[in-house]
Structure 1
Amino acid sequence: MHTPPAISPDTPQPALSQPPQRRILHLDMDAFFASVEQLDHPEWRGKPVIVGGRERGVVSAASYEARTFGVRSAIPIARAKKLCPHGIYTRGNMARYAEISRQIMNLLSSYSPLVEPASIDEAYLDASGLERLFGSPRDLALRIKQDIRQTVGLACSIGIAPVKFLAKIASDHNKPDGLFILEPDDVPGFLSTLPVARIPGVGKRFLEELEKLGVRTCRDAQQYPQSFWERRFGKGGLSLWRRAHGLDGRGVETGYEAKSESAENTFAEDTDDRELLKKWLLRQAERVGTGQRRMGVKGRTVTLKLKYADFTAITRSRSLPEPTDSTEIIFQTACELLDAVPLRQKVRLIGVGLSNYDRGPQQLSLLDGSAGGQTGGKVATEKQRNLDRALDALRDKFGRDAITRGRLFDFDK
């Protein structure tokens, strides 16, 4: 084991300035996508449900029944089917998940204006000073859990701690349908046995380096001075040192907003058929455009993503003169980006994204260092806007498969 550098009693050490007393609540929906599917399909409850793409895609979510067979998110669908051949496999419904997520975020906002959605299925809430309104932190958490179950019919896990990263760890402590409250006085004891692998942001490669130093818990990390961590690992080391001492100055960021939206698909068979690739781009542009219009946002930068048969991936981006939420503009720009790419081998995955919601028209994407310049004159016409609005209204009323653009009539999904 590596021996920590000796610290002289005369060596000045930085003071561990504690943040003001806070109560940060982290809410995490349990197996969110799979739980929504079980909610909408009562006959699937109590059964292993796996949400994901086609055979060569990856698992997006797995119910707790599926997890008992070793199925986890991000593993290949093909592997999941070997682990759980009798499971229920579904492609999922992102529009439905987003709808329920909005209900949950609105419910949290009724407790406090200080709410930060961290993703579609998790959020932070600043619970400091809410005791007079809702009782103890435990009373508050139980009330929120009950309201969510009554409102959307789903279970969630909640963690409460003095700082943000510990609240996130706490919410994972007793899943599913869990509740764990870390009191300020209990933080030192909790950290003493907390594995560094549980700290958000500590990845596989960092863990390998920590293992070489004999650092497995936060107590181990505390044996090294701040100067050592900063010198050895830079900002990442400094962040680890702070977390190991329970420090996190971040507050709940109520100004959170989506930074991008994307859609991608992995094919059952690799292809270099550009016309087929463009049909996929149209379907994806429709998903992205619909999502932007529902959120009331527009983006300037369209990004094309390709993954080749050998798993190497590239991205190509282009900024528009005006922000857009138009399906047609997103599609046209993605097609132009695709036309400029020589397909050196067959493609296994294609995707399109929209980002850069609030930057100026001259700001270019830095993805792969290849922004590709601006697209001249691409502004949605009134006819295109009316078409998008009409299709959105029909799908909201009759379902997303109720109507299809003519160019996709012969498209076998």
Structure 2
Amino acid sequence: MQTDRKIIHVDMDAFYASVEQHDFPELKGKPLVVGGGQYGVVAAASYEARKYGIRSAMPGKIALEKCPHLIVVKPRFHRYKEISQQIRKIFYEFTDLVEPLSLDEAYLDVTENKKGIGSAQEIARQIRTRIFEETGLTASAGISVNKFLAKVASDYRKPNGQKTIHPTQILEFMEKLPIEKFYGIGKVTANKMHELHIFTGKELKEKSLEELIRLFGKAGNYYYNVVRGIHKSEVKPHRIQKSVAVEETFWENLLDEDAVFKQLQIISDELEARLSKKEIKGKSLTLKIKYKDFTVYTRSKTQEVYFDNAQDFYETAQNLWGLRPFDKPVRLLGLSLSNLNTQEKKQISVQLKIPFEEFMR
């Protein structure tokens, strides 16, 4: 087990909802969701809403049943992105090894840091203080020797807290950890483990590598290692880029073709803007459609020459739209470009609308 790295996972607390409560003080202390309503899906829930059992990705109709006086607000992704950029500037004051996971969370490797601070826990404290001073928002942080442990730790004292898992505490901590708290173990896998009488890391650790692989396939190797505090993945500032994608989830479902084409033009323009900044072109364009009932349909076109501009994207998207197998209200549209002209392909995923005691010195 490598114990000389210092990794921090910073996770903003109920980010979208907290931004709304900060910008509109009359919403503070009230159950609030961003997105949702009768026909949408909750993008984020305030802590007041979570007391009613409301969570992100929950259908808005169910959220309203759980809390009839729930406040539903429309997402403002331009604002969330603006604040996210402020937060990342703070990260880069401490280290260049920053791996963003989304607008509201990131890994930082502070083993060697720009300020020469020996304690990773102190760095996390300073970062959280700076975030609050500059944005008025709170963040939680996890600190340990690898990304897995830091991610688990950041969720431990939410909201507005931080947790350090010292190298000497790792094995004991992992044995006591409920299996559903393991990062990478979802509800379905957790239920399967419960059926196998695996409820904590201690019971998971009792299973041999061979048995875990037989039960869970390749993921068994991952479970075998992380329960022992082993996770070798490094903080990667630059992700491998295979495609450029722009997606937009709509506040209200699109009901007619004119509305669809209008949105496809907007998405095509945004895709061109993103590509121009990176000087990227591609030969394969994919249209993604998510319907009101959450079924997803994709269709692609690959050509010998590179797609060149927004008009190319738009006209091709119109043709791909014409191939769809049925008519239903549309809640999401997306265009992605792959088969890129870059030698070292890196992945960009741009989502406009729905759809963050001293130790190891």
Q: TM-score, length-normalised on structure 2? A: 0.84
Is 2:75 the counterpart of 1:92? yes
SS where residue 147 of structure 1 aligns? helix
Residue in structure 1 matching 2:108, options 125, 129, 140: 125
Specify every segment of 5 or more residues in structure 2 that has no aligned partner in the other structure, as ranges.
346-361
Residue in structure 1 matching 2:245, options 261, 280, 283: 261
- In 2, the alpha carbon distance for the partners of 1:135 and 1:261 equals 40
SS where residue 158 of structure 1 aligns? strand
Q: Which amino acid aligns with 2:338?
A: N
Is 2:165 the counterpart of 1:182? yes
Identity %: 34
Is 2:72 the counterpart of 1:66? no
SS where residue 53 of structure 2 aligns? coil
1:48-88 Cα deviation digits (max 9, x unpaired): 22111553110101111222222211011122222233233
> Over the residues paired in the alignment, what is the CA RMSD in angstroms?
2.8
**1:10-409 correspondence to structure 2 within 5 Å:** 18-52=1-35, 55-130=38-113, 133-256=116-239, 260-265=244-249, 271=255, 273-286=256-269, 292=274, 296=278, 298=280, 300=282, 301-308=284-291, 311-319=294-302, 321-322=305-306, 326-343=309-326, 345-356=327-338, 358=340
Q: Residues 347 and 267 from structure 1, CA distance in 2 versus in 1: closer, same or farther, beyond 3 angstroms? A: farther
- In 2, the alpha carbon distance for the partners of 1:176 and 1:225 equals 36
Q: Which amino acid aligns with 2:234?
A: G
1:362-411 Cα deviation digits (max 9, x unpaired): x9xxxxxxxxxxxxxxxxxxxxxxxxxxxxxxxxxxxxxxxxxxxxxxxx
Say which one has the larger Rg.
1
Displacement after TM superposition at 1:25 (Å):
0.3
Greater RCO structure (CA 8 Å; 6+ sep): 2
- In 1, the alpha carbon distance for the partners of 2:40 and 2:267 equals 16
Displacement after TM superposition at 1:99 (Å):
1.6
Q: Which amino acid aligns with 2:166?
A: E
1:233-276 Cα deviation digits (max 9, x unpaired): 321111111111111011111213775433234685684x4333
- In 1, the alpha carbon distance for the partners of 2:253 and 2:100 equals 37
SS where residue 148 of structure 1 aligns? helix
Specify every segment of 5 or more residues in structure 1 that has no aligned partner in the other structure, as ranges.
1-17, 364-413
- In 2, the alpha carbon distance for the partners of 1:96 and 1:63 equals 17
Displacement after TM superposition at 1:328 (Å):
3.8
Displacement after TM superposition at 1:20 (Å):
4.6
Deviation larger for 252-261 or 41-50: 252-261
Q: Residues 294 and 138 from structure 1, CA distance in 2 versus in 1: closer, same or farther, beyond 3 angstroms? A: farther
Q: How many aligned positions are there? A: 341
Q: Please identify which structure carries the higher strand content.
A: 2
